[in-house]
Amino acid sequence: MKSEKILHILEKPKAKTYYKIVEDKDDPWFIYIQKIDKKTKEIQKNSMIIAKDLESQLKLIKSDGWEETSEEQLTYNIKNQQDRK
């Protein structure tokens, strides 16, 4: 993905990963759901869905306990988790 638009960021308390859901700016029909390691920032899983399936996938992820957050809040939470160790 050359350029992307972040649609959602989801995290779970004490989880080692977070979800980032992005739209490819060059082709908004495709949405990427990325599961990313908080420590290394490495993408652990990258799934592609079509835009019309976004809401059902988002509901599925949220039903598993993941909550919406902002990039700023995620950065703050990651730093706090690392400081506690």
Over residues 60-71, the pLDDT tens digits come to: 999 999 999 999
CB 22 within 8 A of CB 46: no
* DSSP structure class, residue 3: S
pLDDT of residue 84: 66
pLDDT of residue 2: 57
How many separate domains does the chain show?
1
Q: Which domain holds residue 66?
A: 4-84
CB 36 within 8 A of CB 19: yes
pLDDT of residue 5: 92
pLDDT of residue 41: 95
Over residues 2-12, the pLDDT tens digits come to: 567 999 999 99
Instruction: Report residues of the chain scoring pLDDT below 70.
Output: 1-3, 84-85
